[in-house]
Amino acid sequence: MMKRRIIWLIGSLLALVVIVLGLAGNYIYDLAISRNSGVVQLYGGTDKAVEAVSALEEEQKRLEELRSWTSRQKFEQVSIQSDDGLTLKGLYLKNKYPNGKTVVLAHGYKGNSDQLPEVTRFYYRQGYNILKPDARGHGDSEGDYIGYGWPDRLDYVKWIDFLVKEKGEEAIFLHGFSMGASTVLMTSGEDLPPEVKGIISDSAYTNLEDELAHQLKYLYDLPAFPLVDATSIVTKIRAGYSFKEASAVEQVKKNDLPLLIIHGAEDELVPTEMATEIYKAAGGKKDMWIVPGAGHTEGFLVNEPEYGTKVIDFVNEAMMEQEENN
């Protein structure tokens, strides 16, 4: 009789643990994965940096000029169908004085194609055509969950296809920020057409499991285990992917394209050491720049001249390498 009570008690406790973890996993999913969640303070960087300096008169003037420049551009709204049937939308800007190159700008968590105006203007002034997709679950794109780069990598293959077939682009570079940076790195491990010449990653995380573990500790002082594991199971059930799958590190091992990794030396949201881990794992020709004094995705704002030089030099070297190989 006592043995049965013990077994029943243990079974009840295990069932209670499973229920609690299920509730916790669903709560975190609704908070961080579901499209319908409010804005969570993840991957803040660029917007935070802009707000911090926007009180200065000079910065206010610069931002007004930027808004004015953006409003004058003739963005074309474009769309594709994802492999799982979602309509994904983006903005395409054809350059009046094209240099023969195109850049795909990948925004961060809870962002959209209206963001990254400074970088957009920088590339336009260099003569690039520009594509700014809304990631699934973001902006005008369909999708009820956030993919953190993993299902998005296949969406980017489709966007690249669109640029090659519909726009006739012949030299494409991918440049992502935060979640968008991990997205382009995950895309690098796929079978990409020869029109893709190189990839630029700014403030990428190594994999979703480690990043969410860091976020739980950094933002909420909560342990990774068992919350991340429980949420990963819920995400697999509700969104079709697990956190272990969403790995930029594993994908860059298969990369053979030139790769530029940029990361802020003072990044607290995505630890700077993640950049080093990605760099060490990556295949192909690669370079890394840790930006002194920069927080999360703040490299361009902190040191725009050197940032621009690094990017231009990287693109030129990638194009030269391509010509030599041909």
The CATH 3.40.50.1820 portion of the chain extends over: 44-207+246-325
pLDDT tens profile 223-242: 877 889 999 999 999 999 99
pLDDT tens profile 145-196: 999 999 999 999 999 999 999 999 999 999 999 999 999 999 999 999 999 9
Stated pTM of the model: 0.90
pLDDT surpasses 60 at 118: yes
Sort strands 259-264 and 286-291 into parallel, antiparallel or unpaired.
parallel
Confidence band (pLDDT; 50, 70, 90) for 58? confident
Confidence band (pLDDT; 50, 70, 90) for 30? confident
Residue with tokens 């004015």: 68
* Closest to 120 measured CA to CA, from 141, 157, 91: 91
Sort strands 172-177 and 259-264 into parallel, antiparallel or unpaired.
unpaired
Taking the domain 44-207+246-325, which CATH number applies?
3.40.50.1820
Q: DSSP class of residue 134?
A: P
pLDDT surpasses 60 at 49: no
**CA distance linking residue 278 with residue 281, whole number of Å:** 5
Confidence band (pLDDT; 50, 70, 90) for 28? confident
